[in-house]
Chain A
């Protein structure tokens, strides 16, 4: 039995405002083991980003708890790295690519040589070793997101959390970046929690797909993706099993949108 890395238990988040309370997350529980690549998919507006922020310790949940390696998350844990959707606002434009990757390592107690090695290694991993001296705004969107991924890789997190990271890049770049995520997972054994609204992407990337209901959100289905681990854009997507799985997830999302799925243990019809 592999170790539980991340544990989300009965997470609930209510946004309080003067116009009334909004229950974004109803009750979410799931677990993730070390070395897994889990995709979270749900209808738009279902609180995916809220969930990630709670997991990453950026938001305080109203109820429930998040555990990483058995200890509760109360603030941003050092064992997590985040990749945001808005790469343009997540990278610092006054730092070079190298400076951006180096930034989170500054307060880690590393020797100059170790730090340089981590940075070089991360830049090679995302294929940007030639652009280290450029500034992020000199790069294309896809390359900027690669910088953000390199920054997260160099940080050596136990779990990499990605919040719809490829929503803002074009389709071809997106396919390249998806394969990059697969490669990081397969070659480096990184544990990745990948949030997306794209059903195909979730099935193509994940070993498990967690389907969320509409808001107030709960876990509608936790689906194992039994595709072979070596995946590529053409043959994997052409597999009958891939089509079955994506159809299944698609139907689940449609049910979620219509609110047909009934929350287990809920009294409402």
Chain B
């Protein structure tokens, strides 16, 4: 009988040892899995693996001291994902927001163009790097689309504005969204100080002044009169003249003058013969104010009329 029991005891001991060894092996194995190689990933994602060397990341890392970077550098530990095949069990920066995905990219992309990313409107709106950039593509194709079409994917109203009768030549390819907007945060290249008007002056420097005779809203904010992407009225004005001007100014007092109808001659300049209608003064004074007030952004030269102290911005 003892001989019968001995083998059982022997087996129990060995089973226990086997179980312990197995456990240790599993633990050790899982430790190895924490250092997954790219081969583990490309076993399934072979298409990504094959093309990776032609991506910007692939070219950059190959042969560089940083080639120890691998799939897990961006995608994190992948054991659970490999075990279960669950896409939710691996980091996908493209699908993560500002509390995860962006941080992944920012661990390497630390150049000064990203210094203000933390405070940018895009980050505040939870836009991720992958919203605009592609990673597993050939090196020269790093953006989802070319600007401005890339920007239009979210800011589609700007596309419509860029085709309005008055517009910055965005649709014509002469002005880029990036000329005015720093998508990663911060000021654009040639804006020199922190005033709101400075961005506009970086291209339209002739409007900056300081002028002897000022137009107050120019000193206040260009956007009081203008809208930058596209507008119904010429020169990117929010409204057509004179409606825009009449928001702040009363009509010219001559608008109430009644005009004769028909041909007339200027008494002291008979060569100036013109044809008038009964509302001729209204047409003259209530069509386009800047025909006479032509230096509307400011002037260094006094206007003709004494009553404004020379400040009528007509010359």
A is bound by B? no
Residues of A that sit less than 8 Å from B by CB: none
Residues of B that sit less than 8 Å from A by CB: none
